[in-house]
Chain A
Amino acid sequence: MTTRMRIGKFAGRAAASMTSSPSWRQYPLGVSVFLIAPLCLLLGFGFVYPVGRLLGQSFFAPEFGLDNYRRLLETPLYMRVLARTVFVALVVMSASLVLGYPVALAMARLRRGLSNLVMACVLLPLWTSALVRSYAWIVILQRRGLVNDVLLASGVISQPIKLIYTEGAVILAMTHVLVPFMILPVFGAIRAIQPELVQAARNLGAGKTTVFAKVLLPLSLPGIFAGCLMTFILALGFYVTPALVGGPSSLLMATLIGQQTTETLDWGFAGALSTVLLCVTLLIVLLFRKALSYNRGISNVA
C-alpha cells in the first residue's frame, strides 16, 4: 500500500513477487527471451565482460597471485584512501539527508503549482552535467573566487584561504550533485502518506513536532533508506567531482582507480582496487537491507 511495501518487496522478496505476478506468465518463454536478449547482450558485452576482466586481472596481472591485494592492504596510503572514501560517502549521505529532507517535506506539503516549481528546481541541476557543476564550484571556491573575494573585501580575512582542492570542497560539491537522489525518494514516501493521518494525529492531541516525530518521520523511513542507499553508493564510486575539486590530500577510490588505469597503466592493481570497492559497496547494501527488514520487523511486532 505504501512505499514501505514496495521497497520491502524489492529488498526482500523480489524473486518471489516476480514469479507470482500474473504478467510474468503472459508471454511464452521464447518471446520473453527474445525481448530481453538485446539488453542482456548489451549488459554482457558492455558491462559484465569488461568489469569481469578488470576484476580478473587483479589476480593475473602482472602474474598470478594475490600480490595486488597484498600491496593494497600493506600500503597505509591506500587503506587511508579507502577509509576516506567511506567517510566522505557517509558525510555526503548525512548532509544530503539533512539538507534534502526539509525540501522533500516542503514539496510534499506545498500546493501543486508551487510543488512543481520546487521539483523543477531540484531536477534542473540533475540535467546539468556534473562536470559543469563541479567547475562552478571551482569558480566559487578558488583562491581568487567568489567566497574569498567577499571575505577579503569585508575584512574577515586578510589572506585568501584554501577552499578548493580540500576534502571539504569535495564533500560540498558531491552533496550538491547528489542531494536530488535523496529528495526524490523521500518526497515520494512523504507524498504517499495520507493527509488525514496528520489531521488525525493533530486531532488526537499531537503538536506539530510530535506529528513529525510519530507519524511523518516513521512513515517516510522507507524513502529515507532508499535515498541514503542511493546517495551513499553513488558517493562511494563518484569520479568527476572529487577529481576536479579534490586535491592529493583528498584522494578517493574512484580517482585512485582512474590514476592506475590511465596514468600508471597498472591494470592489475586498478582491478584490485575495484574489487575492494565493489565488495565494500555490496557489504553496505546488505547492511542497509538488514536495517530495513529490522525496521519492518519492529513495526510488525512491537
Chain B
Amino acid sequence: MKGEAVTLEEIDKSFAKTAVVRNVSIAVQAGEFLSLLGPSGSGKTTLLMMIAGFETPSRGRISVGARDITFEAPNKRDVGMVFQRYALFPHMTVAQNIAFPLRMRRFGKAEARDRVDAMLATVQLEGFANRLPQQLSGGQQQRVALARALVAEPPVLLMDEPLSALDKKLRETLQIEIKRIQKRLAVTVVYVTHDQEEALTMSDRIAVMAEGELMQIGAPADLYHRPTNAFVAGFIGKMNFLDGEYLGQDGGEAVVRLTQTATIKGPVSIAPAAVGQRLTVAIRPEDLNVTPREGSSSQGLAGTVEAALFVGAVYIVLVAIEERPGKVFEARLPAAGGAQPFVAGDRVNITFEPHALRVFVNQKRQAA
C-alpha cells in the first residue's frame, strides 16, 4: 500500500445559506499525516465528511491522487475512515467487522482470513477475533475500527476525533500506536481534532481552521513559532496577548506602545502600514523574564505576582499587569534549584527580547 495525495481546491460548503466552510484549499501530500485542528464549529468535521463523501461541497473540487472524487459515492472512494464513536457493527464479531470491507471487495476466504489475522496482529488484538464489540474496552474497540479501516489498504485514512472518547493515558498510548502504524503503512492520514496537543504530537502538518476558514497550515513548530495571525497564536500553545499602538519607526526599528509608560522596539518587518494603528502583541510564557522590582526602577512591564505554581519542570508565575487592570500574564520560569522564585504580592518587572514578540494587526478571532 502506498499513500496518495488528497487535494482540496477552493471548497465552499453551506447548509441552508449558512456557510460552514469558506474557500478552503489544502494539498495533503502522499503519506503525510495532516491534522485539521480547530474549535467546534470551525468546519473541520464538515471538511472530513466531504472527503469521505457524506457531504458534497457547494463549490470546489476534491481529488485523491489523480481521481476527482468530488461527487463520487462514499462506497466507491476507497478512503478509510475511523469514527469518534468507533461505529463497529454490534452484531458482528471483531473478525467479521474487520473482514467487512474485504467481503465488499469480494476477496477470497483464505486471503481475507490472512489479512484479518495480519491486521489483528498490527493492532495487537490477536486473541480477540471472536469477541463481540461490546465485550471490548473503548481503546480496544477503536483499535478494531482502525484495523477495519486499514485492512483493504486504502491510500487515504480519515480519522474523526478518534481518541476523544478515551481517557488521557489510553489516548497517549494510542496516539503513538496510530503514528507507528501510519508510518509503517505509509498511508496518507487526515486527522480531525480539537486537541492542539494531540495535533502537535502526531502531525507532519497542521491545518488550523476557524469559522469555516483555513487560518494557517504548516508544520507544528512553524505554527508554534511563526503564527501568521492572532487566532493561531492563541490556539496553538499558551500565549499572552496585549493590545498596543504602532507609533512609527525609529532607527530602522518599529516602535509599539504597550502601556502609558512601556514602549517596545522590534524588527520593522512586523510593523503595520499606518502610524497610530491598533494592534495585538503576543508573547509565549517561556519567553518572559520576571525580575523583582525595587523602588521605582521600572523596566519592561510593571506587575504584581498573583500566584506562583510549581508544575514539575517549570514554575508558572501569574502576573497582573499594573497599567492594564484585569490583564494577567503567564510566565514559565525554569524550576532550577527548586527554590520558590516568587510569592503572591511580589512586585516584579516583566521583560522580553523584542524578537520573541509577534505583532498582529488583525485582532478578530483571537482565541482565549
Please determine whether B90 and A219 come into contact, CB atoms closer than 8 angstroms: yes
Give Cα A82 to B39, complex, Å. Answer: 66
Segment from A87-95, A155-163, A196-204, A275-283 that makes contact with B: A196-204
Interface status of A72 (Cβ within 8 A of chain B): no
Q: In the bound complex, how far is the Cα of B80 from the Cα of A205, in angstroms? A: 9
Q: Which residues of A contact B77 (CB under 8 A)?
A: 203
CB of A215 within 8 A of CB of B89, answer yes
Known A-B contacts A203-B75, A300-B132; the reply to A196 vs B80 at CB < 8 A is no
Q: Quick one: which of B53, B90, B104 contacts A210, CB cutoff 8 A?
A: B104
Contact with A199, one of B83, B88, B130, B149 (Cβ below 8 angstroms): B83
The answer to whether A194 and B85 touch (CB under 8 A), given A203-B52, A203-B80, is: yes
Q: Tell me whether B74 is interfacial, beta carbon within 8 Å.
A: yes
Do the beta carbons of B75 and A1 come within 8 Å of each other? Answer: no
A1-B134, A194-B85, A300-B132 are contacts. A206–B90 as well, Cβ < 8 Å? no
The interface bits of chain A over 124-158 (1 if a CB of B lies within 8 angstroms of the residue's CB, else 0) are 00000000000000000000000000000000000
Identify the closest chain A residue to B77 (Cβ): A203
Which of chain B's residues 42-82 have a Cβ closer than 8 Å to chain A? 52-54, 73-75, 77-81
Residues of B within 8 A of A210 (CB): 104
Task: Please judge, given known A-B contacts A2-B90, A196-B87, whether A203 and B81 are in contact too, CB under 8 Å.
Answer: yes
Chain A residue with minimal CB distance to B84?
A196
Q: Is the CB–CB distance between A201 and B100 below 8 Å?
A: yes
CB-based contact B90/A205 at 8 Å:
no
* B-facing residues in A287-302 (Cβ within 8 Å): 299-302
Q: Count A-B pairs with CB separation below 8 Å.
A: 72
**Nearest Cβ distance between residue B321 and chain A, in whole angstroms?**
48
Q: Does A218 contact B (CB under 8 A)?
A: yes
Assess the B152–A204 pair: CB atoms within 8 A: yes
Q: Are B101 and A204 in contact (CB under 8 A)?
A: yes
Which A residues are in CB contact (< 8 Å) with B81? 199-200, 203
Q: Is A207 positioned at the interface, with any CB of B under 8 Å from its CB?
A: yes
Knowing A1-B134, A196-B85 are in contact, say whether A203-B91 is a contact too (CB < 8 A): no
Closest Cβ of chain A to B165, distance in Å, is 12
Q: How far is the CA of A205 from the CA of B74 in the complex (A)?
A: 8
Interface residues on A, range: 20 to 34
Q: Which residues of B contact A214 (CB under 8 A)?
A: 89, 100
A196–B152 alpha-carbon span in the complex (Å): 19
- Contact indicator A205/B152 (Cβ below 8 Å): yes
Tell me the residues in window 186-224 of chain A with beta carbons closer than 8 Å to chain B beta carbons.
194, 196-197, 199-207, 210, 214-215, 218-219
Judged by a CB distance under 8 angstroms, whether B265 is at the interface is no
Closest chain B residue, CB of each to CB of A2 = B90
- Name the residue of chain A whose CB is nearest to the CB of B134: A1
Q: How many angstroms from the CA of A203 to the CA of B81 in the assembled complex? A: 7
For residue B53, which residues in chain A have a CB less than 8 angstroms away from its CB?
Answer: 202-203
Question: Distance (Å) between the CB of A207 and the closest chain B CB?
Answer: 6
Q: Are B90 and A196 in contact (CB under 8 A)?
A: no
B148 within 8 A of A: yes
Known: A201-B100, A204-B152. A1 touches B90 (CB 8 A): yes
CA distance A301 to B130 in the complex (A): 8
CB under 8 Å from chain A, chain B span 281-318: none
Q: In the complex, which residues of chain A have a beta carbon less than 8 angstroms from the beta carbon of B91?
A: 4, 218-219, 299
- Taken together as a complex, chains A and B put the C-alpha atoms of A203 and B149 apart, in Å, by 9
* Closest chain A residue to B104, Cβ basis: A205
Task: Quote the shortest CB–CB distance from A200 to chain B (angstroms).
Answer: 4
Nearest CB on B from A189, distance (A): 12
CA distance A215 to B75 in the complex (A): 15
B87 and A200 contacting across the interface, CB-CB below 8 Å: yes
Q: Give the shortest distance, in Å, between B158 (CB) and chain A (any CB).
A: 8
* A207–B87 touching, CB < 8 Å: no
Say how far A113's CB is from chain B's closest CB, in angstroms.
13
Complex interface: chain B residues within 8 A of A299 (CB): 91-92, 132
Asked if B364 lies at the interface with its beta carbon under 8 angstroms from chain A, I say no
Chain A residues near B184 (CB, 8 Å)?
A: none
In the bound complex, residues from chain B placing their C-beta under 8 Å from that of A197 are: 87, 89
- Determine the distance from Cα of A49 to Cα of B89 in the docked complex, in whole angstroms: 48
Bound-complex Cα distance A200 to B144 (A): 13
Q: In the bound complex, what is the Cα–Cα distance between A194 and B165 (angstroms)?
A: 16
| Whole-angstrom CA separation of A62 from B278 in the bound complex | 105
* Of the residues B84, B85, B90, B148, contact of A204 by C-beta under 8 Å: B148
Complex CA–CA separation, A202 to B55 (angstroms): 13
B87 to A206, Cβ gap below 8 A? Answer: no
Nearest A residue to B74 via CB reads: A202
Q: Are B90 and A207 in contact (CB under 8 A)?
A: no
B75 CB contact (under 8 Å) in A2, A196, A205, A218: A205
- B17 contacts A by Cβ under 8 Å: no
The CA-CA distance from A215 to B90 in the complex, in Å, is: 9
Tell me which residues from 145 to 190 in chain B have a Cβ below 8 Å from any Cβ of chain A. Answer: 148-149, 152
Ranked 4 nearest A-B pairs via Cβ: A205-B104, A196-B87, A204-B101, A200-B87
Seen from chain B, the residues whose Cβ lies within 8 Å of a Cβ on chain A are 52-54, 73-75, 77-81, 83-85, 87-93, 100-101, 104-105, 130, 132, 134, 148-149, 152
Known: A194-B85, A202-B75, A203-B81. 14 other contacts (CB 8 A): A199-B81, A199-B87, A200-B81, A200-B83, A203-B52, A203-B75, A205-B105, A206-B75, A206-B100, A206-B104, A215-B89, A218-B91, A301-B130, A302-B93
15 intermolecular pairs with C-beta atoms under 8 Å apart: A196-B87, A200-B89, A201-B89, A202-B54, A202-B73, A203-B149, A204-B104, A205-B75, A205-B104, A214-B100, A219-B89, A219-B90, A299-B92, A300-B132, A301-B130
